[in-house]
Chain A
Amino acid sequence: QVQLVQSGGGVVQPGGSLRLSCAASGFSLNTFGMHWVRQAPGKALEWVAVFWSDGNHIDHAVSVQGRFSVSRDTSKNTLYLQMNSLRVEDAAVYYCARDSVPVWSYVGTFDIWGQGTIVTVSS
């Protein structure tokens, strides 16, 4: 069964760090680009970053550039989002999502989603 199971998240103070995990099953992370998408309370979806399937490229939204990084562990088939220098405006539900086409980069359509994990940034 193709699925993404997320873990991590929680409450952190402004300026703090947090790491989110996204464990994939039913497919290999080596084959698909993998994205992080977030949704602030009551707001629309916002794309955060993508890890290309070739393993050599990462693209970030301007809002998180220099603070967030994406990595993967192919032995665990798990994707990570390391979030540093967190701001109040980073508070959201964070989703990992699979790119819809198995290409070496990514297409930018999301066909499989994790269940989401809540990040709260508050003093």
Chain B
Amino acid sequence: VVLTQSPATLSLSPGERATLSCRAGQNVNNFLAWYQQKPGQAPRLLIYDASNRATGIPARFSGSGSGTDFTLTISSLEPEDFAVYYCQHRVGGPIFGPGTKVDLK
């Protein structure tokens, strides 16, 4: 099941709201996770099963959606939030999306 993410790049300023989209080619129920990756670092799990924050993840990160359409929202961007974000499903084997880069406007 292919994942597409949009937009490819999101240019925002600190304090703004970020809305990232992930679409699955087929129904993946709520079996979707979001990861954050900064340059030279390993990915970090943010959200699992579409809407559950992982341990230690700030409340400004939230996930929603089910079936084929999912959203990651960062309510108010902090300087450390500028990174690449990947969605990933686990139906028939783990598959990652191509990523959305959130960069500084």
**A interface, CB within 8 angstroms of B:** 35, 37, 44-47, 50, 59, 61, 95, 100, 107-111, 113-116
Q: List 17 A-B contacts (CB under 8 A).
A: A35-B94, A44-B98, A45-B35, A45-B37, A45-B86, A47-B93, A47-B94, A50-B94, A61-B93, A95-B42, A109-B33, A110-B94, A111-B55, A113-B43, A113-B44, A114-B42, A116-B42
Given contacts A109-B45, A110-B43, A111-B45, whether A44 and B93 have CB atoms under 8 Å apart is no
Given contacts A44-B99, A45-B88, whether A108 and B94 have CB atoms under 8 Å apart is yes
Q: What separation, in Å, do the CA atoms of A47 and B1 have in the docked complex?
A: 13
Name the interface residues of B15-38: CB closer than 8 Å to any CB of A. Answer: 31, 33, 35, 37
Q: What separation, in Å, do the CA atoms of A61 and B96 have in the docked complex?
A: 13
B 43-70 to A, binary, CB cutoff 8 A, 1 in contact else 0? 1110011000011000000000000000
Q: What separation, in Å, do the CA atoms of A77 and B30 have in the docked complex?
A: 32
Which are the 8 A-B pairs with shortest beta-carbon distances? A108-B90, A113-B42, A47-B94, A45-B96, A108-B94, A109-B48, A109-B33, A44-B98
B53 → chain A, closest Cβ, in Å? 12
Total contacts A-B at CB 8 Å: 53
B104 CB-CB contact with A under 8 Å: no
**Cβ-defined contact, B42 with A100, below 8 A:** no
Which of B31, B48, B94, B96 has the most C-beta atoms of chain A within 10 angstroms of its own C-beta?
B94
> For residue A107, which residues in chain B have a CB less than 8 angstroms away from its CB?
90
> For residue B31, which residues in chain A have a CB less than 8 angstroms away from its CB?
108
A24 → chain B, closest Cβ, in Å? 15
Interface size in chain B (residues, C-beta < 8 A): 22
**B interface, CB within 8 angstroms of A:** 31, 33, 35, 37, 42-45, 48-49, 54-55, 86, 88, 90, 93-99
> For residue B33, which residues in chain A have a CB less than 8 angstroms away from its CB?
109-110
Q: What separation, in Å, do the CA atoms of A100 and B37 have in the docked complex?
A: 18
Given A35-B94, A108-B31, A116-B42; 9 other pairs, CB 8 A cutoff: A46-B96, A47-B95, A50-B94, A108-B94, A109-B88, A110-B35, A111-B48, A113-B42, A113-B44
